[in-house]
Structure 1
């Protein structure tokens, strides 16, 4: 008579095989999770480096640059301008408030979760929570330029040469406000393309900055509209408009 106890049933090894399979699956999951964290961490670091030194994104909060830029457009800004690449007439520039342009700052406090979420999303360039603390205008005059409005034909002149501003709408006057300014060194005279709805350099001549934007406040040059996709375009600085301007 055969003693069944001498011949272990194959089913007795199943728990051991299942245990090995569970350990295998666990190791695979842990490895995948670690890889995912490494990839996400690397992407975050690269994004922060790019945002800090190369490019940033901003939302357009107002209509001061219509029709070139629409409200809520997302623009991409080259932060190498003007420190490494000079800012030129016609460039669309993003800058911090030089003092008094935006009035009293909004001190709204965010709850910790919302603040952390905004920080994380902005690090990846998904949001731009500080867009309302910046301004977007077009550079009309650079250091040394004498900018006057307007000549007998109603055009702005720079260093004595009248310009035809093709980026303005056909029904837009260059300015309903007369001015005659000489731009200080390392500063800029800026105006919005929506001249009737832009509180630009013309409206801040009573401030200590005299309406000029010092280079230290410039974040960079906007070179692309990236979102919404229907508005995607490269931003032109219209070199033909300013090509005949002599050096100051």
Structure 2
């Protein structure tokens, strides 16, 4: 019997050769450098083609979900809590300027609260400042409103920002012998007015009906406000339920960021319509 042949058979029965064991061990290691040169990535492994495509698809799905969720979150927030609003005109200068982006607090008048004299508010002027046009497209209005919230369009033409000067029951007169507005017999020192403007160049004497507001801009010479609609149905009065919210913050530009100028103590001494204070 051939001795060499016997050794060969016996060695095979003991298992793979040493070189084969090393290759097997290297192929199972996590170090790519330890793999044989002809060993490719297996399907489904992290570095493989299938794994890479799966990872990219997963990343794209996450990005799509985020892109869809962000506008939805902004719309929900603006519908119920805080709505951004672009100031389109100079009627509220110097308090608010053209191009200012403000945040309107939509919770300010919930839970029974109502606008107070001196508040700067955004309201829907439909039926008071602009005609209530029948037959308008509600879907188009909704889409434009959503685009305005996202900063993709100007605010609706029916939205206005003014200062509350008179509330329900107030007697508002222009002007006293010193050229000042009077509310319930008390003259106002309106320090927030635009420099050079008179409190009003249009005389009026009105009583604000309950549930409505008398609105005026701070730039009186350039503001189309309640005074401009005195001879129209409603007399320029804005229903309280048309108020969208109170302007609490200027968000842009950064140089003007912060709370807008308030009314100071202009209305502090004004009594209630029945003559009582506080």
TM class by shorter-chain length?
0.7 to 0.9
1:224 to 249, 252, 256: 249
Match of residue 23 from structure 1:
50
Given the alignment of the two structures, is residue 74 of structure 1 paired with residue 72 of structure 2, yes or no? no
Runs of 5+ unmatched residues, structure 2: 1-19, 24-35, 274-278
Post-superposition offset of 1:132: 3.2
Q: Per the alignment, do residues 232 and 128 of structure 1 end up closer, same or farther by CA in structure 2, a change over 3 Å counting?
A: farther
Q: Distance in 1 between matches of 2:261 and 2:98?
A: 18
Say whether 1:13 aligns with 2:39.
Answer: yes
SS in 2 for 1:45: helix
Corresponding residue for 1:3? none
> By how many angstroms is 1:241 displaced?
1.1
Give the secondary structure class of the aligned counterpart of 1:34.
helix
- State whether structure 2 residue 197 is matched by structure 1 residue 169: no
What's the offset of the Cα at 1:64?
1.0
Q: Secondary structure at the match of 1:188?
A: strand
Cα offsets for 1:48-74 (capped at 9, x unmatched): 211111111121111111121111211
Unaligned runs of 5+ in 1: 1-6
**Distance of 1:48 and 1:77 partners within structure 2:** 14
- If the length of structure 2 is used for normalisation, what is the TM-score? 0.74
What is the CA distance between 1:147 and its match in structure 2? 0.6
Which of the pair has more CA radius of gyration? 2
Note if contact 1:188-1:213 (Cα within 8 Å) is conserved in structure 2. Answer: yes
In the alignment, the residues of structure 2 paired with residue 43 and residue 19 of structure 1 have an alpha-carbon distance, to the nearest angstrom, of 33
Q: How does 1:67-216 map to 2 (within 5 A)?
A: 67-84=94-111, 85-99=113-127, 101-102=129-130, 122=148, 125-216=150-241
CA distance, structure 1, for counterparts of residue 74 and residue 195 of structure 2? 41
Describe the shift of the 1:223–1:174 C-alpha distance in structure 2 as closer, same or farther (beyond 3 A): same
For 1:80 and 1:128, how far apart are their aligned partners in 2?
24
| Structure with higher RCO (Cα < 8 A, 6+ apart) | 1
User: Structure 2 vs 1, CA of residues 51 and 150 (structure 1 numbering), >3 Å: closer, same or farther?
Assistant: same
Q: 1:65 aligns with which of 70, 86, 92?
A: 92
Deviation at 1:119, TM superposition (A): 7.1
TM-score (norm 1): 0.82
Displacement after TM superposition at 1:100 (Å): 6.2
Alignment match of 2:63 (pick from 9, 12, 36):
36
Partner of 1:4: none
| Matched pairs, number | 233
Q: Secondary structure at the match of 2:92?
A: coil
